């Protein structure tokens, strides 16, 4: 989901991964391995980050 939105994965500590995007301020940290069920707060953070990036893309196009 994050990769499809243009985020790039960078390694984190242990099972954590960090995700960055040129249009997203900061980084998004997600715990667990790929395929594990994400915790509700992580799902919310991922959706919010993707919405922020999409909003920034729309701002650049206008």
Bigger pLDDT: 60 or 4?
4
10-16 average pLDDT score: 90
Indicate if the pLDDT at residue 35 is higher than 70: no
Is pLDDT at 33 greater than 80 in this prediction?
A: no
pTM for this prediction: 0.81
Residue 62 has a pLDDT of 64
Sequence-ordered list of residues with C-beta below 8 angstroms from that of 18, at least 6 positions apart, any chain: 9, 10, 11, 12, 27, 28, 29, 30
Higher pLDDT, residue 39 or 44: 44
């Amino acid at each position: 989901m994050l990769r499809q939105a243009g985020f790039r994965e960078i390694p984190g500590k242990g099972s954590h991964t960090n995700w960055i995007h040129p249009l997203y301020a900061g980084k998004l940290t997600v715990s667990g391995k790929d395929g594990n069920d994400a915790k509700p707060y992580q799902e919310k953070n991922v959706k919010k980050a993707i919405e922020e990036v999409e909003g920034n893309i729309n701002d650049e196009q206008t």
